[in-house]
């Protein structure tokens, strides 16, 4: 049997058609616009997601036996606020995960409500991208829209609602709202009260691998699919990617270098970072995970290549950076193009180069961008290490994983083995696996990933290069504290 995985990303929706064996039959990607109506704002129209997803499904399955397609599920960009009125119409554009307008609301939650209370209610504190601060911003700045709210959704759940008519979300995505009691896997009454939200405005909670319903009959007819096609709840993009890389169980790690960058550490038991620099979320496997998130990762390299160097030849720009240059670059790049989440929680942080001299080359600055992202990811890994977690290896996915140079830099900056996968489909592959579990193709996620997820290559750190990067990382860590006060005025 075959399955469809839908990865609702920030710049495009990627759809995957996969056999139950893990063999990929087809993939399709369709782009949609993102809008920046004001500085630090980031929005999209949910109707664009749905339109491109339907067109993408049609393209994906047109040359295949449609009767063989048994299930569908999702991975999706997290934290976005989608609101519908009593007519099920979208009230305003969705406010996305990388939107930084909620500084005042985060200050109110963290300082007036208090971080201790937030952590008690949700296992997390307020970050600018989370959903609860967006609701407070809406109540404060667009009360007419706030008062129209009938349903509150996350991005992928809007697609699920349009496909099935079921008002739902899953535990991993709900964990990123700051409205959810992560430990007990239910909505937090206290947080709903703080935000002026009623329980009936919130979706029903499912485990990521649970079926939420089947395709609407009219939509099934339009697509040529069975109305018995099972739709599973799906997961937030990082949890879905973790499923797709086999990151389940105790102490397993997956790093994603996508638009954002994440360090994802799975756990069988509930854990909270005492300083809340790492997020404590529910995992799509029925257990838990800790996660550090940097807001700009591969997007830093894209910005540098596309906007500054004005080139699409990413590989060519890296050709002059060989092993002899690793850990010997004196240019540093702070990767805070959209502010930063983990570990600084500072929407006013800004990106910058530092350390240039008259002999600095184009390649030095390209290398600094790749290293800056690696250093930022290490910030999150160090927090996990301080909590006693031993992480000897990580899986790697996302667009950045296609760069052999970046993989080598990451292995040496983190000083751990980096395992690359035969398939780097990430969230869409994880979504397919979740659909398989909902359809009982496999008895468990453990069985599914053991048969589907395969490694292609492991990169070991070089002892001398890793040692040299230790010194570079110590210098990198000193830069943000030195510039923090300046960022407050620059980023105002």
DSSP letter (8 states) at residue 96: P
Task: Identify whether 464 is a catalytic site residue.
Answer: no
In angstroms, the CA 140 to CA 134 distance is: 10
In angstroms, the CA 243 to CA 322 distance is: 33
Among 389, 385, 373, smallest CA distance to 340 is for: 373
In angstroms, the CA 388 to CA 158 distance is: 39
149, 134 contact by CB (below 8 A)? no
DSSP H helix total and E strand total for the chain: 17, 24
Catalytic residue chosen out of the listed positions 237, 273, 346, 364: 237
In angstroms, the CA 102 to CA 80 distance is: 13
Task: Point out which residues pair with 235 in neighbouring strands.
Answer: 75
Among 212, 196, 192, smallest CA distance to 204 is for: 212
- Strand locations in 134-246 (E): 151-153, 168-170, 180-181, 186-187, 204-206, 211-214, 230-232, 235-236
Axis crossing angle, helix 427-438 with helix 237-244, rounded to the nearest 10:
80
- Strand locations in 63-107 (E): 69-76, 82-84, 94-95
Q: How far is residue 334 from each of residues 174, 200, 348, 370, 481, measured CA to CA in Å?
A: 30, 43, 13, 10, 12
Task: Point out which residues pair with 24 in neighbouring strands.
Answer: 18
264, 242 contact by CB (below 8 A)? yes
Residue 125: cis peptide before it, omega within 30 degrees of 0? no
Q: Which residues of 466-475 are buried (b: 16+ CB within 10 A; e: fewer)?
A: beebeebbee
User: Which residues are known catalytic residues?
Assistant: 237
């Amino acid at each position: 049997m075959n399955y469809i995985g839908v990865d609702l990303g920030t710049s495009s929706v990627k759809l995957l058609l996969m056999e139950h064996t893990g063999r990929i039959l087809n993939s399709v990607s369709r782009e949609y616009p993102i809008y920046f109506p004001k500085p630090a704002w980031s929005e999209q129209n949910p109707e664009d997601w749905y339109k491109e997803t339907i067109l993408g499904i049609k393209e994906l399955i047109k040359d295949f036996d449609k009767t063989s397609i048994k299930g569908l599920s999702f991975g999706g960009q997290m934290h976005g606020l989608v609101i519908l009125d009593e007519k099920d119409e979208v009230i305003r554009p969705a406010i996305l995960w990388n939107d930084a307008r909620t500084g005042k609301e985060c200050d109110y939650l963290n300082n007036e409500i208090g971080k201790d209370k937030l952590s008690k209610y949700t296992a997390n504190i307020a970050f600018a991208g989370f959903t609860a601060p967006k609701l407070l911003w809406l109540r404060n700045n667009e009360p007419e829209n706030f008062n129209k709210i009938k349903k509150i959704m996350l991005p992928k759940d809007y697609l699920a609602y349009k496909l099935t008519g079921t008002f739902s979300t899953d535990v991993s995505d709900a964990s990123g709202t700051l409205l959810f009691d992560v430990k007990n896997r239910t909505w937090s009454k206290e947080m709903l009260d703080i935000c002026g939200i009623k329980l009936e405005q919130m979706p029903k909670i499912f485990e990521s691998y649970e079926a939420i319903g089947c395709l609407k009959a009219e939509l099934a007819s339009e697509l040529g699919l069975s109305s018995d096609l099972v739709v599973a709840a799906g997961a937030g993009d990082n949890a879905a990617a973790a499923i797709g890389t086999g990151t389940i169980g105790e102490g397993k790690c997956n790093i994603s270098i996508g638009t954002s960058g994440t360090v994802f550490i799975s756990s069988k038991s509930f854990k909270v970072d005492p300083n809340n620099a790492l997020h404590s979320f529910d995992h799509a496997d029925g257990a838990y995970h800790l996660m550090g998130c940097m807001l700009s990762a591969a997007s830093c390299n894209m910005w540098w290549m596309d906007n500054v160097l004005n080139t699409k030849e990413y590989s060519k720009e890296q050709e002059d950076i060989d092993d002899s240059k690793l850990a010997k670059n004196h240019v540093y790049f702070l990767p805070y193009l959209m502010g930063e989440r983990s570990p600084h929680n500072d929407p006013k942080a800004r990106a910058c180069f530092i350390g240039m001299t008259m002999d600095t080359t184009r390649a030095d600055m390209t290398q600094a961008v790749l290293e800056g992202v690696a250093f930022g990811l290490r910030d999150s890994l160090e927090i996990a290490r301080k909590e006693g977690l031993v992480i000897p290896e990580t899986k790697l996915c996302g667009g950045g994983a296609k760069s052999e140079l970046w993989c080598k830099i990451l292995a040496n900056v983190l000083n751990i083995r980096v395992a690359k996968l035969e398939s780097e489909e990430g969230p869409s592959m994880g979504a397919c696996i979740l659909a398989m579990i909902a359809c009982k193709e496999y008895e468990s996620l453990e069985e599914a990933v053991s048969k589907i997820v395969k490694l292609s290559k492991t990169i070991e750190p070089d002892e001398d290069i890793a040692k040299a990067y230790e010194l570079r990382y110590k210098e990198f860590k000193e830069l943000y504290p030195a510039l923090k006060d300046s960022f407050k005025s620059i980023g105002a």
